[in-house]
Chain A
Amino acid sequence: MRDTRRARLAVGLLLAAALVLITVDRRVGSGPVLGPVHDVATGIFSKAEQVSATVTKPVRDFVGMLRAAPEAKQTIVALREENAKLRTEVASLRLDGTRAAKLDRMLGLAGLGRYRVVPAQVLARRDFPGFEDAVEIDAGTNDGVRPDMTVLSGAGLVGRVVRAAADSATVALLTDPAVSAGARLEGGNQIGVASGLGEAGGGDNLIKFRLLDSTVPLPLGGRIVSFGSQRSKPYVAGVPIGVIQRVESLPGDLTKIAYAKPFTDFSSLDVVGVVVQAPKRDPRDSVLPPVPRQAKQARERADERSGRDDEEADEARDRMEEGRAGAAPGGHRSRAREAPRRPAAARAARGDGRN
């Protein structure tokens, strides 16, 4: 069976078939033609992968344990340090938290951060260098998972669902060079784009964060959170993405580029969550009114006194706001507290009108 005419004909036909497949897939996507094929194949393969993932779990666990052994000691020391640091952070966060809760209530963005998440297990993984970086999870349309939903881990953003079958779904990871997400600097709220680097990200799976405004300083160790997309598809807002590790700024460039280490450990993904229901209200940044300067000062002063005097700080802030805008943003305060203040607001409004 040497290289006969028949062999050449066969290979020619098959290559042509492959080219046709590529063309159809590029032009139509997985529509009516290739959709059923995908569904059937996904059904078969995901069942097999499920079985295989279950059967081979001891092997993976064992190897994972062996691999982690040399680092375990360092990890313990590092964790102790981190624990101590986090404890102090928690103390300060508690103060911030009460403040943030109040702010949210005031602005009607109480839905922020209230996601309904479906947990899922990673079944299989593929990462061809430079090509793709995707995992298969064991939740599908039966669990409410649809394409273009955000996938999180306990630590931060993982990626988005690109294809969902009955009881499995394909997730493109954030480290995939073809994936990018709107992101912003925490604190400063400057907007940028986070995109995967794939192979170029190195062992830490670094991702690229391009800040759209090159005049804003990019702090090392600054944290990046997701910016959120229109109607929260494919990304919901406020999910932590990573920490800036390296900044690259070329003079004269319109954008600034930083490399960030993601919070999620992409080399050992196991349990992830799919956000099946985003917050009811779109927590877009543009709806946030500017914080008035006087109020801010008053709040800072109040906070300095202590977190326990929240009540008082609240009062002070409310007074400032009423003075500024005639109590316009008061919609979400509790009715009981609002009632006695009404006349004051009305007076202020009248006063404004006269001037």
Chain B
Amino acid sequence: MFRNLTAALIIFTALVLQVSLVNRLLGAYAPDFVLLTVLTLAALRGPTAGAVIGFCGGLAYDLLPPASHTLGQYALLMCALGFVVGRFGENAPMLTVAIFAVIAPGLAAGIGALLGNPGVTWTVLGSAWPRAAVCNLVAAPAMVWLLSGRYRQRRRRGGSGSTGMGPTTSWGRGMA
């Protein structure tokens, strides 16, 4: 329960800071910290929890005030990504998060195109996707380190539960 509340709080903070600070500071070169947070949490906690976290985080992202896109777009995307990352992120969370941080902007644009968004064209995708991917890649290690560090620390304090499967993954991958 406490874990879930913490996750919700982290995502809420990420959402607010993303739109009120990061986007306004970096403009088009802003990494998507909300996406990275959701992916990292999913990688740390497994497929079911990842899907739930992705759905809730995505829904909150859709509802976050300056939004003019269709409700549910990010919920769909992040739910699927959360599940996949939770499933494959057990052994190498950093790598998985990085891979999906690169793929995600393209998928988001793809969903937008399917829903008839007029701004998504190949030329736009060609220039925007690589840029978004690089920005996400730059920010991903810090995000993973930050969040998994939190988990690691708590595990050390808790003492038990370590099975030697690796520093970042063995804790927290339990009942969702």
Contact = CB atoms under 8 A, between A and B. Distances in A.
Scoring B52, B65, B72, B174 by chain A CB atoms within 10 A of each residue's CB, the highest score goes to B65
Interface in B79-98: 79-80, 83, 87
Interface stretch (A13-21, A216-224, A281-289): A13-21
Interface residues of A, number: 64
A170 B68 contact: yes
Contact of B87 (A3, A26, A38): A3
A52 B23 CA distance: 13
A135 interface: yes
A169 to B, nearest CB: 9
6 contacts: A1-B48, A7-B46, A7-B87, A125-B20, A129-B129, A172-B68
A68 interface: no
Interface in A15-55: 15, 17-22, 24-26, 30, 34, 37-38, 41-42, 45-46, 48-49, 52-53
A218 B67 CA distance: 35
Contacts of A200: 121, 123-124, 127
Interface of A: 1-4, 6-7, 10-11, 14-15, 17-22, 24-26, 30, 34, 37-38, 41-42, 45-46, 48-49, 52-53, 56, 59-60, 63, 122-132, 134-136, 162-163, 165, 168, 170-172, 176-178, 196, 198-200, 267
Interface string B10-32: 00100111011101110110000
Overall SS of chain B's interface: helix
Contact of B119 (A126, A134, A198): A198
B140 interface: no
A129 B128 contact: yes
B127 A199 contact: yes
Given A7-B48, A124-B24, 11 more contacts: A3-B87, A22-B76, A42-B63, A42-B65, A52-B16, A124-B23, A130-B120, A170-B65, A196-B119, A199-B124, A200-B124
